[in-house]
Homo-oligomer: A and B are copies of this chain.
Amino acid sequence: MPMSDSGNTDILIDISTAILRAHEGELQFRALEDAGESAKRLPFGPFMPHRHRTMEISLRQWVREQVGVDLAHVEQLYTFADQGRYRSGESDERHVVSVGYLALARAEDAGGGAWDNLYRHFPWEDWRTGRPDVLDAVILPALDNWLGRHDHAAERVRLAFGRNEAQWDEEFVLERYELLYQAGLIEEAVRDGRITSPPQEALGAPMQLDHRRILATALGRLRGKLKYRPVLFDLMPDRFTLRALQETTELVIGTSLHKQNFRRLVEKSGFVEATGETSRTRGRPAELFRFRHGNRADRPLAGLRVSGGRKTGRTS
């Protein structure tokens, strides 16, 4: 980075955004298709500092106008300057630094356009109906094989994938993705020329550039943030049943929760208030709740501290 600057460094800053919503039982993100490209991509565009005061403001405006989505929550994820990669098919030789953003939208504000099921790109992250088969059938054996040649990574694999004594931690989405990438089990690794042998079997649908990595970062961040900030409500409509809130939570953290305890947790948290109205569906009607605090921006702290089943086998 430093030392005496030698020459001109033409840098282009891209902003890439993972826009998520909960819709029809899926955790979805806004995905764009390019002609002649099978892999999809996230919405992104150049940052032009002389036009916009802050990245977040310009991002919101641009997403509303160009992508047709009204964003509820916007959060900067990470600035990737790693690869020293150039934007492909570009005539000039500028270095691209990409700033990744996570954005949440309510299904109502999300307009038309194409949305993709996030877990289609991360099948090993969805534990709602139990441990995904692909883990034991494909991923762990392949990682073991890779570890034969790279055993220094054994501990990382143990922790990220919850083997032996370790627990599966749903927040380690990025760690898992990067291990799979390094082990060459991810199509992007082949495309980037990091690995010569093609993956034995596609692990999740690939995406352009490093967009799947940005998605992994986004999912991991969101799963973590849930627990200490009420971001969940930025995925919910104005009124919702506790059941709907629980389903959205489960979508995000990728596990299923105990209904009665979830109710206790939410009620105790003070984040919601009953409206008096009820919803009519199949069984007994459910009370409709709304998020407390009308004032956006002025968000309370804390989050939901959701957690899966009891942890047995402590590594004391």
Which residues of A are at the interface with B, using a C-beta cutoff of 8 A?
A: 1-3, 5-6, 9-13, 15, 45-55, 58-59, 62, 66, 76, 78-79, 81-82, 84, 95, 97, 99, 152-153, 155-156, 159, 166, 169, 172, 224, 228, 268, 270, 293, 295, 297-301, 315-316
The one of B6, B59, B152 that contacts A1, using a Cβ cutoff of 8 Å: B59
- Number of this chain's copies in the assembly equals 2
> CB distance A84 to B53 under 8 Å?
yes
Q: Which chain B residue has the least Cβ–Cβ distance from A227?
A: B228
> CB distance A13 to B11 under 8 Å?
yes
Q: How close is A165's CB to chain B, nearest CB, in angstroms?
A: 10
Given contacts A48-B9, A79-B99, contact A169 B301 (CB under 8 A): yes
> CB distance B62 to A2 under 8 Å?
yes
Give every chain B residue within 8 A of A45 (Cβ-Cβ).
1-3
Q: How close is A78's CB to chain B, nearest CB, in angstroms?
A: 6
> CB distance B48 to A1 under 8 Å?
yes
> CB distance B54 to A315 under 8 Å?
no
A-B contact pairs, 12 of them (CB 8 A): A1-B59, A2-B46, A3-B51, A3-B62, A9-B48, A10-B10, A11-B11, A13-B81, A47-B81, A53-B84, A152-B298, A268-B316
Q: Which chain B residue has the least Cβ–Cβ distance from A52?
A: B1
**Docked CA distance A50–B12 (Å):** 13
Give every chain B residue within 8 A of A58 (Cβ-Cβ).
1-2
